[in-house]
Amino acid sequence: MIIRTGHVAIKSFNGEVVEEEGNSVPHHEVYLHHWLVARYHQPINSTSIEDIVLVKNAGVCQVTSLPQYFGLGSETRKTATYIPDPFRVEIGNPVEIPAGYEEKWMINLHAIDTRGVEEWGGCTECRCDLYNVTTDDDGQPLPPGCKGGFQCCTDNTQGRLKNGYKRYNRTVYLNYTVELNVTYNCQIEYDIDRCNTTQKHYSGCIDVKKTSFPMIKGGYVIYGVAHQHAGGLGSTLYGQDRRVICTSLPKYGTGKQVGNEKGYIVGMTTCYPQPGSVKIMDGETLTPVSDYSNSKLHTGLMGFFYFLLAERL
């Protein structure tokens, strides 16, 4: 699964189990044991799992156990995963990708159907006696003394149900949210693909790009405006404390006359704060956010934010 192509950075990654309509599913119906996000390289045009090269993190237990970059479990809905500024997890750096390969990401998901189980606590802990399992996923006998764990609740196994309880088939999904920063390298333009129906259902077909950078020299904001192409929905410049420094929105034409050409951005709102009311500190990290409609393919887009600072009043 490719999350995103290009040289970008992840600021947060979270997920939860939902129904097809997007409604959250409670743990007493589906227990999210864990979800793990791993990074790997694969030869271009290859679909074989045998060809992948896992790109592990720099932590402990890397041989077989903990190579993932993000991952939680049942606590996922109320656990913050945001990486504080100015830090982030860099991905897609072409310098790190071997020639002939591309970077991809995968999700390892373990969800347990807990509807009508005899003992939900033991079921979620994969107790062997509740799953009536004597062999592992490879068909080999369980090790002596094995009481529970992954070996006892592998794919397609089910926990023991209460007498008389009958299950019906149900489809659920992992709905995950990723917050990205466009890696700050003075990129001039970018493309966005048309959103699919799933994206439209959850995000309304809005593509959000952001980046963060430190201001070496601060000052008082005296003017601000964004630059976008057709399809732009506006841009906001945020300060390090998440305060809004300036929001600039597009004005679209509605006719044929010069300055009012239908479908084109013919103007952008500007910011002229009261002198002295908005100050950017030396070294402060700023974050411009640019929103575009991605109801169709867009290429060569720009998302500039132009602002002027006065060193002193």
pLDDT of residue 287 exceeding 80, the answer is yes
Q: Which pLDDT band holds residue 43 (cuts at 50, 70, 90)?
A: very high
For the ranges 184-188, 233-237, 269-273, the one whose mean pLDDT is highest: 233-237
What is the CATH class of 186-310? mainly beta
For the stretch 233-246, pLDDT in tens is 999 999 998 899 99
Domain boundaries, the chain: 8-115+167-176, 186-310
Calpha distance 130→118 (Å, rounded) = 8
For the stretch 140-154, pLDDT in tens is 888 888 888 878 888
What DSSP assignment string belongs to the chain?
--S--SSEEEEEEEEEEE-TTS-B--TTTEEEEEEEEEEEEEETT---GGG-EEE--SSS-TTTT---SEEE-TTGGG---PPPTT--EEE--GGGSPTTEEEEEEEEEEEEE-TTBS-HHHHHTTBHHHHT--B-TTSPBPPTT--BSGGGS-TT--PPBPTT--------EEEEEEEEEE--S----EEEPPP-HHHHHHH-SEEEEE--EE-SS-EEEEEEEEE--TTEEEEEEE-TTS-EEEEE-EEEB-BSSTT-BBTSEEEE--B-PPTTSSEE-TT-EEEEEEEEE-SS-EEEE--EEEEEEES--
pLDDT of residue 136 exceeding 90, the answer is no
Cα torsion through 290, 292, 294, 300, rounded to 10 = -80
pLDDT of residue 304 exceeding 60, the answer is yes
pLDDT value at position 186? 60
What DSSP assignment string belongs to 15-27?
EEEE-TTS-B--T
Q: What does the mean pLDDT of the chain come to?
A: 84
- Whether the pTM exceeds 0.85: the reply is no
Q: Give me the mean pLDDT over the 170-193 stretch.
A: 74
pLDDT value at position 204? 66
pLDDT of residue 1 exceeding 50, the answer is no
pLDDT of residue 42 exceeding 90, the answer is yes
Lowest mean pLDDT among 137-141, 268-272, 298-302: 298-302
pLDDT of residue 85 exceeding 90, the answer is no
